[in-house]
Each structure stands twice: as structure tokens, then as C-alpha cells.
Amino acid sequence: MRLAVSTLYGPLLWAGQFLLVYASESLFCRAGAGETHRAFALAVSVAAAGVLVVLVARQWRALSQPALDSVGVPLAGLSLLAIVWTALPSLLMASCTAAT
Amino acid sequence: MSDVAETQPGAPPRHYDLPRPQKELDGLEAVWRLPTGWRVFSAINNSVVGYLYIGAAFLFFLLAGILGLLIRTQLAVPGNGFLSQETYNQIFTMHGTVMMFLFAVPAVEALGVLLLPQMLGARDLPFPRLGAFAFWAYFVGGLVFFATLFFDLAPSGGWFMYPPLTGTAFSPGMGADFWLLGIGFIEISAIAGAIEIIVGVLRTRAPGMTLDRMPIFAWTMLVFAAMIVFAFPAVILATMMLEMERAFGWPFFIAGKGGDPLLWQHLFWFFGHPEVYIIFLPAAGMVSMIVPAMAQTELVGHRLIVVALIATGFFSFGLWVHHMFTTGIPMVSLGFFSAASMAVAVPSGIQMFAWIGTIAAGRLRFATPALFVLGFIAIFTIGGLSGVMVAMVPFDWQVHDTYFVVAHFHYVLVGGMVFPLFAAFYYWAPAFSSRPLSERLGRWVFALMFCGFNLAFFPLHIAGLLGMPRRVYTYPEGLGWEPYNLASSAGAYMFAAGILLFVVDLFRNLRPTGGPAGNVWNAGTLEWLPTGNYSVRSVPHVEGRYPLWDRPDLPREVREGAHYLPRTATGMRETIVTSPVEGEPQFLMRLPTPGWSHVVAAVAMAAFFLLLVAKAVTLALICGVVSIAAMVAWMWRADPPDAGPVEIAPGVEVPTLVSGPLSPAWWAMVVLTMVAAALYLSYVFSYLFLWTVSPEVWPQADRMPDAAWTSGALASLAVSAAALLGADRVLRAGGTRIGMGGLMALGVSALVAATALDVGALRSAGLAPDKDAFGAVTFMAPLLQTQVTAAVVVIALFTLARLWAGRLTAARRVVFDTLRLLWLYALGQGTLGLILTHGFPRLMGGG
């Protein structure tokens, strides 16, 4: 279990960020707080990226199980890319605007 | 007889001295002997079941392919009257449904069943009878489902079955019900197969085969099965809800009553998009096995491919809304899914470059499997690029629901799955047939399929850009679509000619009996070791990713019995269970023998679902009881008594009885609870989704049931939990039948009572499931809880019967351990359901 987490933390963090920023939009819009969704989404994204970078740095230093760490680190790299891409729409567009 | 054991941990054991006594091989052959004549259908060996599985999947490929030809015949010229509109709708619905559910997923699952044990150095997968059950359920259910076409009863709402078209108002016949219950049932079979594969890959690898040394195909099957566990439950929930709406008027998808057809699309595509990768990843795994053998060099970037597989598995769950870009979802949300759609292209690119790198690093032998791999790379790359195009929201708006999308997904699915599958047929045939398939015919098959495919589908991109919509049974002339459609139809027939030639090749050359032709490609992985019905004669200690290249003498040593388990240690069928990461031997698992109970269970369960469609409820219930009885008969012998520790290699002894996390059964139940949890999370999503779209049907807090009911239900769950933990303690202490029996009866009764109290509470407040979407989604919680509670009740009765028969003791307790897991899950789900359905409306205070 611990091994699974130490390998999969990257995509797990992306999944958490994705779920939070996506699901929260409907809830914020529904609650009439659409204008704060952008700040929320960006805060979640920065937090996810920050945690990811810290974890990668720790893993890089420790390298206790070289074989599997060498899966965890590149996986985290791909996940960081996905986190940044997922954050971009919030940076560029206003929330709660219907597609027309 | 044996050498002295190695002392340092993790080191490979010494070999057995050769030659081995003949009686060892005789014993192995005796316990693994196949039933003969028609009794071969009672066989559960992975080799027999794998063959049947692939044969059935290929049959459905041919049948759905014929439907595809009918579609292309109809569309060859404008205004064609070859098929009527209704018939065309049934045919295109069945083409998609059969290709996705009865061909693509079962075909890769079948290859997993056939190849994995040999590739991992196991004698068989850990639950052979479950695998055989999954096959029979799929085959019988699939045949009946397909036969609906001949009685004008087939579904006609598209393979995606969008409501409101598929609701009773617009699809009043039985066709949609056949889809919902038939496909729902076949998905259960796919999940059974996935559980088998996950536990098999993680626990039955050869000693020494660490995760890092595991072949890529096994990695892809692991990711594939994990994705099934999380993706399929969403569509199972959706089919349950749509069937409840059709049969009992629970309005989940009816907008006038607070439901939303978009909920179906969310649930369907939460399954449907990962489904594409569920199909593609194992095919990519096949390519990762074939390319190194064809290029005679190790796979470039092995570990990066593992990274890419895991990343694809995750990212593919963040793509589902890209099927819904035109449904009016807010712009920013579309942006999230567009971003994830681009992110998933990166790991796919990693795999592609790794294959190209491997081909460049070695010397590619241009045999038929290599041709199909090259065809795959070309076609899938085109499909991937048009995929990036439709991942862009503005472009997607232009081509949505046009033939551009049809062209795109055929490039992805046929390129990404069918071409690798044919590469696999040509590549692995010599591992199972005494003659390889024909190289000469194979080249023709490839040429016809490759040219035919591109002729059939490339022009459709242009037809789509010219505005030709999907799902139309005909089109008028003069719109400029004619040449593209005619070319496409010609290409489809050319493609079909290639398939026909392949069938000829199969009949001429495939010889499943008489021993395999052997390692004709000089491949490096374990499935090319000499095999019999028992898989390998002895199981080697794996020290690298390509053991046959590292140790050229290995096939001889294995065949002569120098390695692990060259005999049957307990006189039964056995396989070595190893630790999930390092592959250390932990346990000798005894496997079941041929029988009919799983066949009866599968056929009766298929009958149960299909008779429900025909509204023959009594007969359906009888079949349901027969199915459960057959399962009980099957499980009764599944947990043999302790045979003491046995030697599996010189100086290496392992136990024959384990419990808890060491036992494969425990792992299987953990995976099953994940399936149930995924289904329940989809339900929670549905609840909150409906609340966000129709808050007006949510009641005010004062119209909710009295809190005393809720407290009573929660207290009942607490009593159930206490009784379960008490029973666990009594069993550990070697306690009495009366004590155990009493506590279990109390616990199960309390679990049932909690659901009854829940329903009573909702009824007492005047809520009804058919009144509005709130009622429907609220009553769904006790319905789902009843499902899991029923499973707990059946297994608890089974456990009690074993206790009474003296087959459940403090040491031999696997049945109780697995029951406990499911029971604890049921308690958790029940608590969450009560908090959500009773607490949430009170908290939010209605719309």
C-alpha cells in the first residue's frame, strides 16, 4: 500500500486537483459564488503542484528503492504537466459562463 | 534428492538434480488431464478457456463485421432502399455494441487468460473456475443478445443508448431492455475476469519476477483490469437507473420530473472514455512484446512505458466530457477536459517513440506480425492526431456528430486494437498451435486489411468535414458526399476480404492439439517455454526481463524439471503464490478441477437477466436461485484443508493454507469491494448532480423523515458491526458454533433491518421513487444497499454452513475473512448512504 502511494502520488494529486476544480465549478455557480471559483481553482492547482514538487524532491533525495522510484519520479513529471494544463482554463476564462 | 538450500534471502534456490523420476511427470499429467469429448466444455484450464474465449470473441467480431458491411452497403449510394430506417438503426446499434462489449473487451481479456499464466510462469490463474464462469456468462448472454436482431427485438438507440430516446416514451419495445440487462450482465462477467487478472498478475508470478521484471503485457493487463474495476461500475449504475426508469417509472433522466438526460451521458462516458484505453492498452502491451522479438533487441524505455501505462490509466478518467462538448457545459469545465485530453496524448507518445526506438535499435524482421505492428503504428498515429484535433473545443463543435468523428474513432479502435490483435494472432500462434500461421497468406491478409481499412475510413474524414452527419440511414444526392461513401464501401469489402482470408489461414494451419510449434521468433519471455496442459513442467526463478535470452539452456532445464515444483506436491492442481512486489514464494495454492457448476451458474444467471426482460419474473427468480445454488456447490470445495508445508524447490518450503492478506481470496474480495465502492461513488455523483440541476425538487428539511428513524437505522448498523467483530473474536478464540452462529445471525439481521428502517423512514415521510428525481435518487440508496446486503446474507449463510460442517476453524478461515471484508464494506456504504440521503436535504434545506 505504502509502495503504491509512493509510486502513484503524482497521478493521485492530479486526480484530486481535477476532481476539485471540475466539481467545484457547478457547486460555486449553484451557490452564486461563481466569481470566486477562479481563485479557488488556481489555489487548488498551486497547492497540488507545490505538494508534488516537494514530494518529488524528497523522493529524489531518498531513492531508497531505485527501480520503483524511477517509475514514481517520471510519473510525477507527467502529472505536473497535467496539473499545469488543467489549471490553464481557469487562468484564461471566467467560470460559470455557458458555452454558446 | 535435493541440494542444500541457499542461505541468503532473495537468492535463487539451487536446482533439482536431473534427471527427475518419470513418475513426477506422470503425476503432473494425470492431475492436469483435460476432459475428453464433449466434456471438454467442463474444463477450466486457462488454455482451454482461453481458446474458447478468443474463439467466441472472434465470432462476435465476424458477426459485428457483417453488420458493418450491411451499414456500408446501405450507405454506398444516396437514397438507397437496401435497409429500412428501423432495421438500419438496429444494425448500427448492434454493430457498435457488439464490437465494444462482445468483441473488444472480451478479446483482450481472453488473450490475458490464455497468455498470462505462461508468461508469468504460473500453472494457471488463481481462480480458474471464475474465469470459466466469466466466459460462459459472456458467451451465452452474448449469443442471446445478438439473436434479438433476428426477431426485430434489437435495441435501436445507438451503442451509447442516450435517453430520452431510449426512455419508454420513445423506445417502448423490449430492445432497450435487452441492451440494459444484457450488457449490464456481460459487464459483470468482464468484472469477474478483471478480478481474476488483477490477482493473477499480482500474486501468481514466477519466483523472482519482481514488478520491475514483469513483461509489459502483464503490466498492461494489470492497468486494464484496474480500469475496468473503476470504469465499468459507472455504466452498470446507469443501466440500473435507466432500467428502473423504464420498468417502474423512477424518473432519473426525465427533465419534466427533475431528472436530466445529461446524467446518463456523464455516467456512460465516465465508463466510455476509459473504455477506449481499456481496449487500447492491452493491445499496446501486445505490441511491446512483439516488437522486441521481431527486432531481436530489448524494449527501449521499458520503465518509461510502465510510467506511460499508469499515467494513461489515470488521465483517461479525466476525458469523459470531451464526448459532451456540445451539451452546454460551462466553458471552463470544457477547458479542464480539453487539457486532460491533451495530457493523455503525452504518455501515448512515449509508447510510440519507445517502439520506434526499439525498431531502430534492432534489426526488424519483416514477418507478418511486424507488418501488422507497422500498420498499427501508422493507423493509430493518424487516429491519435485526429483525436488531438477533436480535443480542441472549437474544432469539435464543427465536426461533432459528423462522419469525421466516425473516421477518427475507427482509426483509433481498429488501428489501436484490431491490428495489434492480428499481429498477436500471427505472433503467438506457434506458442499454441503445432503449426504457425502462413507467412504467405499473412502478407495478403495484412495488405487487404491495411489498404481496405484506409480506403474505408480515410474518405469519411472528408465526408464529415463536408457536413455528413452520423447515424443517418441514408442521404440525398448532390451534396458532394457520394464519391467518399462509395470509396468507403469498397474499402469495407476489401477489409472484409482480408478477414476472410485470415479465416482460411486459421482453418488451414491452426492445430491446437499436438503440442506447440515452439519459439519460432526466438523471443525472450516465458510464454515460449515448452508447455503441456500443466503449463510449464517446472517454474524457473526469474532473474531478468528476457529470461530465455539471458539463459539459452532454460527451456531444456524447465522441461526436464530442474526448477520449482516439477511435480504435484499435494496430488492436486497447484500454482505458486508469490508476494506482489518482489515475487517471493509465499504459499502453494491448490486449484480446482473440471466440473459443471460454473457452467450451470453462468447459464442460469444469463437466463435470469434475459427472462427479466421478457417479464417472466417467476421463471427468472427460479433461474436466479439455481445460479446461486450452483455457485454454492462450486464454492463448497474451494477451500481444501491444510496439507502442511510442502517443498517447492530444494530447501524451499511453503504452507498450503493461509488466511487474511496472504490469501488470493482476500485480494479478490478487496478488488470486489473496490468495484462496489466505485459504483457507489457514481451514485453519490448522480445524487449531487441531480441536486445541482434540479434543486427545486429537493424537499425542505421539515418534509424529511423524523430523525428518530435515521438514528434507528444507524444504530442498527452499529449493532451489526459489533456482532461482526464479536463473531471474529469468537472464531479466533476457537469458539463454539452456537456463539458464532448467534452473533452472525444477529449481525446479518441488524444489517437487513437497517435498510428496512431506511425504506420505512422514507415511506413514512410520504416520499415515493416515481414522484420526481429526488424520490428516485433517494430510493436508489436502499436499493443499492439491498444488493450488497443480499450478497452478505448469502455468504453469511454459506459461512454458517461451513461452520456447522466443521470446515471453518480458527486456522481455516478464508471464507470468514472474505465475508468480513464485504460486511465491513456494506456497513460503510450503508452509513454513507444514510448520511447522504437523510442528512444532505436537511442540511441544504431544499431548493
In chain B, where the domains are located:
44-509, 521-654, 674-844
Please give the distance of CA B595 from its chain centroid, rounded to a whole number. Answer: 24
Strands B535-536 and B531-532: antiparallel
Reported confidence tier of residue A30, pLDDT bands at 50, 70, 90: confident
Burial class (CB in 10 A: 0-12, 13-18, 19+), A73: middle
| HEC string for B40-90 | HHHCCCHHHHHHHHHHHHHHHHHHHHHHHHHHHHHHCCCCCCCCCHHHHHH
Helix (H) or strand (E) holding B578: strand B573-578
Give the model's pLDDT for residue A63: 63
Helix axes of B814-834 and B737-764: crossing angle, nearest 10 degrees: 20
Q: Which of A17, A26, A64, A90 should be substituted to probe chain B, the one whose Cβ sees the most B Cβ atoms within 10 Å?
A: A26
Cα separation, B473 vs B563, in Å, equals 62
Q: Which residue has the higher pLDDT, A63 or B349?
A: B349
Task: Name the minimum distance, in Å, from the CA of A94 to any CA of chain B.
Answer: 7
Q: What is the C-alpha separation between B368 and B386, in angstroms, rounded?
A: 27
**CA–CA separation, B436 vs B519, rounded Å?**
10
**Pair B78, B477: CB distance under 8 Å:** yes
Kindly report whether the peptide bond that precedes residue B164 is cis, defined as omega within 30 degrees of 0.
yes
- The pLDDT assigned to B11 comes to 64
SS3 B564: strand
Which of B333, B581, B667, B670 is the mutation pick for testing A, counting most A CBs within 10 A?
A: B333
Q: Name the phi and psi angles at B654, rounded to 5.
A: -135, 155
CA distances from residue B308 to A11, A67, B193, B297, B375 in whole angstroms, order as listed: 11, 15, 24, 20, 21
A2 has a pLDDT exceeding 80:
no
C-alpha cell at B699: 424537499
pLDDT of residue B1: 34
Contact B318 A3 (CB under 8 A): no
Higher pLDDT, A70 or B413: B413
Determine contact, residues B650/B14, Cβ cutoff 8 Å: yes
C-alpha to C-alpha distance for B787 and B778, rounded to whole angstroms:
15
In the prediction, which pLDDT does A64 show? 59
For chain A, the straight-line distance linking the first and the last C-alpha, in angstroms and rounded, comes to 46
- pLDDT-derived band at A68 (thresholds 50, 70, 90) equals low
pLDDT at B846: 57
For Cα atoms B713, B718, B720, give the angle at the middle one, nearest 5 degrees.
95
* Test the A interface: residue of B304, B310, B332, B337 with most A CBs within 10 Å: B332
Task: At B14, give phi and psi (nearest 5°).
Answer: -70, 155
d(C-alpha B744, C-alpha B333), whole Å? 48
Fold of B44-509: Cytochrome C Oxidase; Chain A (1.20.210)
Question: Rounded to whole angstroms, what are the CA distances from B608 to B176, B597, B604, B628?
Answer: 17, 16, 6, 11
Which pLDDT score is estimated for A28?
Answer: 87
> Grid coordinates representing B419?
491490428
- Which residues of chain B have a CB within 8 Å of the CB of A22? 333, 336-337
Nearest-CA distance from A99 to chain B in Å? 5
DSSP readout, B723-751? HHHHHHHHHHTT--HHHHHHHHHHHHHHH
**Cβ(A71)–Cβ(A7) under 8 Å?**
yes
Euclidean distance between CA atoms B550 and B540, whole angstroms: 12
Residue ranges of chain B whose pLDDT lies below 50: 1-9
Q: Which residues have C-beta within 8 Å of that of residue B722, sequence separation ≥ 6? A: B747
Decide if B56 contacts B143 (C-beta within 8 A): no
Nearest by CB to A75, from B307, B330, B695: name it.
Answer: B307
Q: Return left, alpha or beta for B258; rule: phi > 0 is left, psi -120 to 50 is alpha, else beta.
A: left
Instruction: Outline where DSSP puts E strands in B621-668.
Output: 646-649, 652-654
CATH of domain B674-844: 1.20.120.80
Cβ atoms within 10 Å, residue B415:
26
B325 and chain A: CB distance < 8 Å anywhere?
Answer: yes
- Identity of the residue in A7, A27, A94 whose CB atom sits nearest the CB atom of B692: A27
The CA distance from A75 to the nearest CA of chain B, in Å, is 6
Neighbours of B626 (CB within 10 A): 17
pLDDT at A29: 85
* Beta-carbon contacts of residue B715 (< 8 Å; ≥ 6 apart): none
H helix intervals, A31-65: 37-62
- CA of A40 to nearest chain B CA: how many angstroms apart? 13
Question: Cell digits for B367?
Answer: 514477418
Nearest to B484 by CA among B408, B415, B407, B414: B407
Helices (DSSP H) in B474-596: which residue ranges? 482-509, 547-550, 554-560
Per-residue pLDDT, B637: 86
Which of B211, B311, B342 lies at the smallest CB-CB distance from A85? B342
SS3 B140: helix
Cβ-contact B6, B20 below 8 angstroms = no
- What's the confidence (pLDDT) of residue B594? 94
State how far residue A12 is from chain B, nearest Cα, in angstroms. 8
A30·B692 Cβ contact <8 A: yes
Chain B: nearest CA to A60, how far in angstroms?
A: 16
* Three cell numbers, residue B739: 456463539
For residue B480, the number of C-alpha atoms closer than 13 Å in the C-beta half-sphere is: 6
- A contact set with B (CB within 8 A): 3, 7-8, 11-12, 14-15, 18, 21-23, 25-27, 29-30, 37, 41, 67-68, 70-71, 74-75, 78-79, 81-82, 85-86, 88-90, 92-99
Cα pseudo-dihedral B336, B338, B341, B345, rounded to 10: -120
Q: Whole-angstrom Cα distance, residue A36 to residue A44?
A: 12
Q: d(Cα B141, Cα B611) in Å, to the nearest integer? A: 11
Q: For residue range B360-414, what is the model confidence (pLDDT) as tens digits?
A: 999 999 999 999 999 999 999 999 999 989 988 899 999 999 999 999 999 999 9
For residues B610 and B185, give the distance between their C-alpha atoms in angstroms, rounded to a whole number. 9
- B212 to chain A: which residues are within 8 Å by CB? 67-68
* Residue A70 pLDDT > 90: no
ipTM of the complex model? 0.93
Residue count of chain A: 100
Q: Which chain A residues are within 8 Å of B581, Cβ to Cβ?
A: 3
Quote the mean pLDDT of chain A.
86
User: What pLDDT, on a 0 to 100 scale, did the predictor assign at position B405?
Assistant: 97
B470 three-state secondary structure: coil
Bridge partners (DSSP) of residue B573 are B591
